[in-house]
Structure 1
Amino acid sequence: MNRADFLRRFHHIERVHSERDYPLSYTGRPAAVLIPLVDYASELRVLLTERAHHLRHHAGQIAFPGGGAEAEDSFPVGTALREAEEEIGLSPERVQIIGALPDYRTISGYTIKPVIGLVKPESKLTLDKNEVASAFEAPLSYLMDRENHLTHHTHRHGQTFPIYFIPWKQYMIWGATAALLRNLSFHLIADDKSLSS
């Protein structure tokens, strides 16, 4: 899937299904993540991070650059861009914001706004090793193919919730990151439709 195909699919959707998020009983702390789509001539690739392994929360998990909103941020875009610059050294000037997905609430008490941006492929990254162990790219077409999404169900407070997993090479993308990718897939690919359609 290249840039033109992505934009056509993303901006011409009428009704989109979203995966169930965690039903917080309070307003979650506002947060934003950047879904960086690296714009190669023939395809888009998703830039993901592996969180540092010494972190207290979510150590080693695969994530998008992002975090909690700060008072000086222009939320949500400002938060997503600031966090991306802090975590992986991605300059805001290298990102073209093209849209956002619906909010997604997490069991950890955040209400995440996913912001989507196109990134120039020659962008140099400088990882903050206090937060990020590594960064890697995966093809958007692979991540959007729901045949590659695995589902596990968990039970909490008498309710059943799906947890999604997307394996890619040596990485396992799961939790909120996988759910956000799955939600993006609903914006791009109608149910039971292939990427080639």
Structure 2
Amino acid sequence: MAAPDIEPPPVVVMGVSGCGKTTVGTRLAAELGVRFIDGDDLHPAANVEKMASGTPLTDQDRWPWLHDVGRTLRAHEATGLVLACSALRRAYRDAIRCEAPGTVFVHLDGGHDVIRSRMGARSSHFMPASLLASQLGTLEALAEHEPGFSVDIDAPIDVIVGKALHALSEPERSTWTPGQQPRTSASSVWR
């Protein structure tokens, strides 16, 4: 798959645990010719230990991490970056955009059963499947004013990445600002 000729913005591949953020993010970054960073690697050890024990993070746990995510995106604005981060709530995405205002969010959207089966198939991840219900309960869909779009994950990886690349390459994106989301012929991927 050849990436369209675009200047990639800072991109956050977002969604609940098990939706494919790392897999899609890695492929998307490769297609765009930019670096990929897994936001989980930016968590302090205390957060990882808490999640591994089955305890959901509190907002107090998240705020410093979210600001680190935003600063990491800002540090790569000139070169582009794809970063995987749950970014489940609008307030979390706002915190990221405070640090990196040009960030675009790619929400990997899928049903409970699809995500639960993917979580069961992976190994050596600190997030237990028991926290899926908590994450789905916390998830707030992208609002009209947020720069980003959703992609249905009940599809092959090539289709998911292709939809994300198409949406990121829309000509209107060059003048896209928060509050102005393009509506394109690929409207099925835009929210």
Q: Same fold (TM over 0.5)?
A: no
TM-score normalised by L of structure 2: 0.26
**Higher strand fraction (1 or 2):** 1
Task: Identify the structure with bigger relative contact order (alpha carbons < 8 Å, sequence gap 6+).
Answer: 2
